[in-house]
Amino acid sequence: MEERKEEEYYIWYNYGVEEGPYNSEKVKNLILEGRLREEDKIWLDRLGEWKRADEIDELVSLFEERKARTERVKKVKKKILVIEDDVSLKEILEDVLAEKGYDVVSAKDGMEGLRKVYVELPDLVILDIMIPQLYGLEVCKRLKKDPTTCGVPIIFLTAKDQVMDKLLGIESGAEIYLTKPFDMDVLLAKIKSLIT
């Protein structure tokens, strides 16, 4: 009878907190999404010690794949991620931006939007504040805190038009804060100023 190899589980030490245990598929996804970095510490029982992730043989090729994928993204079109739960507005933005030559991807809530940033590697994010799952301000803060995504410009496009809302939006790291209803030409001009 053939002996089955028992799967190993990884524990990831991240920002002072242990996360896991994760199986190899989960760790692969964390690396390819850019959430697990080369310098992060990983524990494997067979190693018996904490090691840098890029010192574990089976993970090295995944980091190389991530690097190669990032480097070969020499985009002909600039990519914009629209995070908006209003379906009709999302479709209008997708159509207008595509017409203007941008590659457009979208998400309907904050958690999906956050995931798509790491997968799609957009050049710019258009973000509503009042979105489900994860508030727009929190999405912005997380992206601006992460070295992988902190350079991605963010435009808030929101109905929240009080002075305090605008201050919170800019303090969270967004480059531009526009309120609804908005002028499409102004939005296009702001986009152009950030990613050309």
Dump pLDDT digits (tens) for 87-144: 999 999 999 999 999 999 999 999 999 999 999 999 999 999 999 999 999 999 999 9
How many beta carbons lie within 10 A of that of residue 193, not counting itself?
11
Dump pLDDT digits (tens) for 33-71: 888 889 898 998 888 889 999 999 999 999 998 888 777
- Strands 10-14, 41-44: pairing kind: antiparallel
What are the residue ranges spanned by the domains of the chain? 10-71, 79-195
How many beta carbons lie within 10 A of that of residue 148, not counting itself?
15
Select 79-195's CATH number: 2.20.28.270, 3.50.50.60, 3.40.50.2300, 3.40.50.10310. 3.40.50.2300
**How far does CA 4 lie from the centroid of its chain?**
37
Report yes or no on whether pTM surpasses 0.85: no
| CA angle in degrees (0–180, nearest 5) for 100-103-104 | 95
Q: How far apart are CA 47 and CA 122, in angstroms?
A: 37
Q: Is the peptide bond before 181 cis (omega within 30 degrees of 0)?
A: yes
**How far does CA 6 lie from the centroid of its chain?**
33
Q: Which residues, 6 or more positions from 102, have their beta carbon under 8 angstroms from its beta carbon? A: 77, 78, 79, 80, 191
